[in-house]
Amino acid sequence: MPAVDTAIIKTLGAFQVCVGLTACHRAGIPSRSVDANGSFLYNMFLVTGNVDKSTGKPNPTSVYHLRRLWALGADLGHTNSTAAFLLGASTLADPLSCLISALSSGYGIMHFGAAEASLKSLVAIGGKENVPNLIAKVKRRQAKLFGYGHRIFKTVDPRILFGAQIMNELGSDHPLLQVAMELDRIASEDEYFVSRKLQANSDLYIGVVYTALHFEPSIVPVMIMLMRSGGLMAHWREAMGQPANIWRPQQFYTGEVSGSPADSYDAVASEWKTARAVGNLNNLRTPSASDNMEKIISVDATAGPSEAREDAQTETTNISKPGPTVAAISVAQPDSEEGELSIWHSTLSEIKDLTRLMSLL
């Protein structure tokens, strides 16, 4: 699959450059080109301007710790953003377009944005002496605790142990690390969190790690997506090696249906087959739709455009039909010579029949 592999390399390179340009623009510093002899992570520091001021090159220690951090989350299976990515991939979209879908999905505070939100909340706490006050507010449902609780991990998030280790090696005296550790200590001993099986997750520390590596908080969600990009490309490569099969989520109608669905479907199917055989589709409208259309279109043709519009709107309002109305669209052409007015008034029953007809095409 040489073409697929080439597309993956180009996509990863383009994404890295875009992240670098964005970071440099926000920091107000000149953008820099990649080093052809440097690794992907080395160039990540380089293009974002995150370099040692004395050497103008990325700090080897920072590159080492970022490699360890990215090993914790290169791929986590079918997450929300991965599903969004593969949803686009199922249409045979190019990998960069699929990556944009994943990035849009992951940017929310319920996904990658949680790390940024957690980091900002740690900054807002100020110091570890203020942690008990935040915990009390969370228990009163007056505040939200980011970086705590996870849909999958109901015990200790296995990633958090390594994240805390990396943070300690970077500098255990980091003020935000002290706040995060105090928050984790108090919450892990509080019955409110223990009874609900709420444990700290990697978002509690990952934002702090990026801060210690001198990345701005606003770029953290993008960095997490960049961390996941290799795993996403592996998913895309696997998808391209399989027969094309577009993803289309199933939908189930849960509203009320009058009459027997089976009888109604058989009647509609028979009507459609007959109309298709004779080449006449004029009789396919349901009785309720036909009656309403004739009632609306029979507006006095001699009336002026404004009068016709008012009468038609009145007729539309007064139409009585079984079932709730889900759409009412009116299109008026007051400037036309005939002063025609065409209004389509749809109900759930009509949409149901239309859907069944479409399934037979």
The amino acid that residue 293 corresponds to is: M
Is residue 302 helix, strand or coil?
coil
- CA dist 346 and 327 (Å) reads 6
277 by Cβ neighbours in 10 Å (0-12 / 13-18 / 19+) ranks as exposed
- CA dist 106 and 82 (Å) reads 9
Q: Which residues face 345 on adjacent strands?
A: 328
Token pair belonging to 200: 């700290």
Closest by Cα among 346, 359, 360, 358 to 286:
346
Closest by Cα among 106, 105, 137 to 121:
137
For residue 120, the Cα-to-chain-centroid distance in whole angstroms is: 22
Is residue 109 helix, strand or coil?
coil
Integer Rg of the chain from CA: 30
- CA dist 204 and 131 (Å) reads 14
Is residue 150 annotated as part of the catalytic site, yes or no?
yes
- Considering 157, 184, 203, 353, which one is annotated as catalytic? 203
Alpha carbons within 13 A on the beta-carbon side of 157:
25
Is residue 203 annotated as part of the catalytic site, yes or no?
yes
The amino acid that residue 215 corresponds to is: F
Which residues are catalytically annotated? 150, 203
